Amino acid sequence: MPADLKVVILAGGFGSRISEDSSAKPKPMLEIGGMPILWHIMKNLYGQGLDDFVILTGYRASVIAEFFANYRLHNSDVTFDSRGTGETMVVQSSRAEHWRVTLLDTGLTTMTGGRVKRAQPVLGSAPFLLTYGDGLADVDIAALWRYHVGHGRAATLTAVQPQGRFGFLDLNGDRIESFREKAQSDVGWINGGFMILSSAIFPLIAGDAMPLEREPLERLADAGELMAYRHTGFWQCMDTPRDHKLLEDLWQSGSSPWRNW
């Protein structure tokens, strides 16, 4: 895996489906264990050797900017010298990660493809890792990268099977023969994010109004240039208050599979 692989995180949506706190902060800033889910995503990837992040903001972009503007200060030992120059000096910053974070305000209503397109000047021609700012997983990024390089195509997305929310009724006519919980094997594969994309994606994005998941990825698929990396480990998005509570409960129980630090 390249040491300079950039991580791009989509963090600009309204998050209207989760609703809680959405008027005060963007969904990637909703907290799990007192820290934003965006931070959890970054910490997991940082624990796998990735330290160059490009965050594509939009709705309430200032909330994300303020978090990172104050992050080092809040995670360091600091001296405030009011007797002399009034200088603020970081004495020890061992609690703060040594990462590089670039925030790009990609617009309030820009779609996912448009946000990625706007990042092209920062990303250049090198492949990059793209994921969503509202999903946690224990994807092995080094293995994902090896798979991507091995097949030689333009793009790879991580395919996951989300846990079913409802039980199954096995029916014989109108008679219920059994009731069982839905297993992951009963659910189809979906796009779980954690995509490796080459610069071939940029010409396929017409502008701000284009979702990445429609024409750009569909055209790559039609050309045989989009591959799936099947991830059977932990993956959980945060679309609803129920999802948020599940992730919070996992964190509080000490069994949070994404935690590698």
pLDDT tens digits along 79-88: 777 777 767 6
What is the rounded average pLDDT for all residues in the chain?
89
- pLDDT score for 176: 47
Question: Tokens for 141?
Answer: 């990024």
* % of the chain exceeding 70 in pLDDT: 84
- pLDDT score for 92: 63
What number of residues does the chain have? 261
Distances (CA, A) of 33 to 74, 199, 251, 256: 16, 36, 6, 11
- pLDDT score for 128: 98
Over residues 91-112, the mean pLDDT reads 88
- pLDDT score for 72: 85
The C-alpha torsion from 93 through 99 and 100 to 103, rounded to 10°, is -90
Please state, in angstroms and rounded to a whole number, the distance separating the CA atoms of residues 182 and 165: 7
What is the band of 165 on the pLDDT scale with cuts at 50, 70, 90? low
What is the band of 96 on the pLDDT scale with cuts at 50, 70, 90? confident
Over residues 233-241, the mean pLDDT reads 94
pLDDT at residue 164 above 90? no
Q: What are the beta bridge partners of residue 74? A: none
The pTM (predicted TM-score) of the whole model is: 0.89
Cβ burial, residue 156 (10 Å; 0-12/13-18/19+):
buried
CATH number of 6-253: 3.90.550.10
Greater model confidence, 250 or 172: 250
Instruction: Please give the full DSSP string across 61-110, using - where no structure is assigned.
Output: HHHHHHHHHHHHHHTSEEEE-TTTT--EEEEE-TTS---EEEEEE--SS-
Three-state DSSP at 19 gives: coil
What is the band of 163 on the pLDDT scale with cuts at 50, 70, 90? confident
pLDDT at residue 175 above 70? no
What is the band of 150 on the pLDDT scale with cuts at 50, 70, 90? very high
* Residue 31 backbone dihedrals phi, psi, to 5 degrees: -95, 145
Over residues 130-150, the mean pLDDT reads 98
DSSP letter at 200 equals G
Q: Are 220 and 226 in contact (CB under 8 A)?
A: yes
Q: What is the largest CA-CA distance in the chain?
A: 85
What pLDDT digit, counting tens, does each position of 58-70 carry?
999 999 999 999 8
What pLDDT digit, counting tens, does each position of 4-48 carry?
999 999 999 886 667 655 567 899 999 999 999 999 999 999 999
What pLDDT digit, counting tens, does each position of 176-231 carry?
455 555 555 556 899 999 999 999 999 999 999 999 999 999 999 999 999 999 99
pLDDT at residue 161 above 80? yes
- Cβ neighbours of 100 (radius 10 Å): 10
